[in-house]
Amino acid sequence: MIDGKKIVVVMPAYNAEITLEKTYNEIPFNIVDEVILVDDHSRDHTFEKAKNLGINTVIRHEKNTGYGGNQKTCYKSALASGADIVVMLHPDYQYTPLLLEAMIYPIARGLFDVMLGSRILGKGALIGGMPMYKYIANRFLTFFQNVMMRQKLAEYHTGYRAFSKKVLENLPLDNNSDDFVFDNEMLGQITYAGFLIGEVTCPTKYFKDASSINFKRSVKYGLGVLRVSVTYRLQKWGIGKFKIFNGLKENQFRVVEE
């Protein structure tokens, strides 16, 4: 715990048997109280590996629900366990668990509601092997979203994220996609509701066993990001009402000047 707050790490897993142990062993258990792994019907032995490692809670989906669907189970399970701060850590070792303290403390001390581990701050992305086409797409999409959402984030597309209990309890996550664009829809909701987002520089690793979506799925994701940005702006202007913002009021948790 930190300042009496329960810290839970959630791991949305799919075919992570090879990298899971290395990721798990680097988690700083001096501050992390519980780890929850959700296996999205992997084709390998991720579930059995997680059980053998002694992970606190291991859940297996009976069918593949997608990356977003996996996260929905992760966050519901974390809240049910009494979590005050929840960190999403991919079990493919692409993001280092050694940054967990830097992700958690700003939330525990009330500085931010959400923390992102940015691969773009500094030179971590390209040094870590991010393909050039993904880097260029990342920069373009981030620029477009910053313009449309009036933000100044270095990156919207990292999978390393930490949230306060308040954020997860109030976002209508079930309204979001079960696919990869879930992450982006979530940031749209967070920004719309007025939660504060912080970022920390995060090195990343691209290697054979690290998960990565192919070019076709990347294009689909990119189009989804553009959709989220446009619907966000239309919602803010009062021109339309969109499902992902149902149940949220503009800046209801903090007044944010644009």
Q: What is the tens place of the pLDDT at every residue in 119-167? A: 887 766 667 677 788 888 889 999 999 999 999 999 999 999 999 999 9
Q: How many Å separate Cα 155 from the centre of its chain?
A: 12
User: How many whole angstroms separate alpha carbon 165 and alpha carbon 218?
Assistant: 30
Looking at residue 209, what is its pLDDT?
Answer: 59
Q: What is the pTM of this model?
A: 0.92
Full set of structural domains in the chain with CATH = 7-245 (3.90.550.10)
- Let me know how long the chain is: 258
Averaged pLDDT for residues 165-179: 97
Helix %, strand %, coil % of the chain (to 5)? 45, 15, 40
- Token representation of residue 12: 């949305």
